[in-house]
Each structure stands twice: as C-alpha cells, then as structure tokens.
C-alpha cells in the first residue's frame, strides 16, 4: 500500500501540517504501508498552462502533463499511489495557490473531452482531504463537496476532515485581529484540535485499509 501525502500549507509546524501528519500517521499505522510527505511550498513549479498536450492521441504524451519541473516526479508518484492525502488551509474562500496548481496539473490529464469522459489514470486511489480554516465549519461545506466530488470522478473515492475556527497566532495582541474572541479560540484549540487530528488519523488509517 503506497501512501502519498501532499501538504499545500507554507508552514510545516501549524494546523494544516499537523492534521495532515495525523492522517499520514494513521495510514502508516496499517501494516504493509510505505509512503512519504511532499511539501508543495518547497518545490518550484507552476499551474496548468493549457497546452492540452495531455489530450493528444500520442502514447508518449496522453494523460501526462507535458510541463517538466519539480512537480513532475510528484505527479508520477500521485498516479502510482494507492492512497493520496491532501492538506490545505483556506485562503480567500479557496485552497492555497500551490494546492490549486498541483490539482490543475493532476486533475486535467486525468480526463478527456470524449463523451464518455472515462478517467485516464490506471489506478483509482482513495483520496483523503484535510482542510483548516478560522471561519465557522459550515462556511465552506459546499466548496468541499464540489472539490471532493471532482476528485471522486477523476481520481478515486474521496472524503475529508476539517478543523475550523482554528488558532492562528500565539499572541493575538501583536496582530490586527480584533474580530476574534481570543479566549474562545484558544480554548477550542486546546479542546477540539486534538480531536480534529484524531479524526484525521482515523481517516488515514481507514483509507489505508485499517479497521
């Protein structure tokens, strides 16, 4: 069982990275699994440029992104994975730009413009998503449903866990962030965030075939 975790957060020590690690640890707790975590912000790459090379009826090009950069080997690993775990914080009502660019390069070669629109990749990996945000939980549910639905169609069966109303700063007094009830946010981080990480762990374990 091959596990690939994709971290779309810039900070490797904060909420998204912590939850993704929990999901990865859950998957890796299942005997017979191997895997790695890729941090997108460590890589030099761009999003899809719309060249449509991946749609050419040419065996050497079909269903593969033609761009060659530091994301190229990650895409090959994603195509070969049995479980893909993807984590991103929410910025301005969307996933991070790096996460979006990865998905453009991963999703687009996975479909054709044929009427049957059969996915092109040889495997149907399971996909687990981790989302973090400082907004209320219901704020992004429609967005998550759409993204997970797209992954269901192109990549494989998908599910997600999320952490909301997260703590962003250790000391809120140093930032222009007076809209938050700081004590409530810190209390939630202490009481709820460990549960969110546990939910991520269980998702990873379940996707990797654990009970």
In whole angstroms, what is the distance from residue 11 CA to residue 40 CA?
Answer: 11
pLDDT at 139: 82
Q: Is 155 exposed, middle or buried (0-12, 13-18, 19+ CB in 10 A)?
A: buried
Decide: helix, strand or coil at residue 116: coil
Average pLDDT for residues 165-182, to the nearest whole number?
Answer: 87
pLDDT at 203: 97
**Average pLDDT score, the chain:** 93
The answer to whether 43 touches 30, Cβ cutoff 8 Å, is: no
Beta bridge partners of 128: 85, 159
* 44-72 per-position pLDDT tens digit: 999 999 999 999 999 889 999 999 999 99
Average pLDDT for residues 159-169, to the nearest whole number?
Answer: 91
CATH fold of 2-207 reads Rossmann fold (3.40.50)
pLDDT category, 207, cuts 50, 70, 90?
A: very high
The answer to whether 18 touches 197, Cβ cutoff 8 Å, is: yes
Rounded to 10 degrees, what is the CA torsion of 104, 107, 110, 116? -110
Q: Is 82 exposed, middle or buried (0-12, 13-18, 19+ CB in 10 A)?
A: buried
The answer to whether 169 touches 175, Cβ cutoff 8 Å, is: yes
pLDDT at 27: 97
pLDDT category, 22, cuts 50, 70, 90?
A: very high
pLDDT at 211: 64
Q: Could you say which DSSP state residue 179 is in?
A: T
The pLDDT > 90 percentage for the chain reads 73
pLDDT of 119 over the 90 cut: no
What tokens appear for 26 in the block? Answer: 């859950």
Phi, psi values for residue 164, rounded to 5° = -125, 165
Sole residue written with tokens 């593969």 = 64
- The residue extents of the domains of the chain are 2-207
Average pLDDT for residues 162-191, to the nearest whole number?
Answer: 88
pLDDT of 173 over the 90 cut: no
pTM for the full predicted model: 0.94
Average pLDDT for residues 176-199, to the nearest whole number?
Answer: 90
């Amino acid at each position: 069982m091959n596990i690939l975790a994709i971290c779309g957060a810039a900070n490797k020590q904060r909420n998204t990275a912590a939850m993704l690690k929990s999901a990865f640890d859950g998957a890796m707790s299942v005997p017979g699994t191997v895997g790695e975590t890729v941090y997108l912000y460590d890589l030099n790459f761009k999003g899809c440029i719309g060249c449509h090379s991946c749609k050419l009826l040419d065996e050497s090009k079909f269903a593969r992104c033609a761009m060659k950069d530091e994301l190229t080997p990650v895409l090959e690993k994603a195509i070969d994975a049995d479980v893909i775990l993807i984590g991103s914080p929410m910025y301005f009502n969307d996933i991070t730009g790096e996460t979006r660019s990865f998905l453009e390069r991963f999703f687009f070669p996975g479909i054709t413009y044929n009427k049957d629109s059969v996915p092109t990749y040889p495997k149907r990996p399971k996909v687990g998503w981790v989302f973090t945000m400082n907004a209320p939980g219901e704020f992004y549910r429609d967005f998550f449903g759409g993204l997970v639905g797209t992954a269901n169609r192109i990549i494989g069966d998908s599910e997600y866990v999320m952490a909301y109303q997260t703590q962003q700063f250790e000391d809120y007094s140093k930032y222009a962030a007076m809209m938050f009830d700081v004590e409530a946010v810190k209390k939630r981080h202490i009481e709820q965030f460990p549960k969110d990480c546990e939910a991520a762990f269980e998702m990873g374990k379940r996707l990797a075939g654990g009970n």
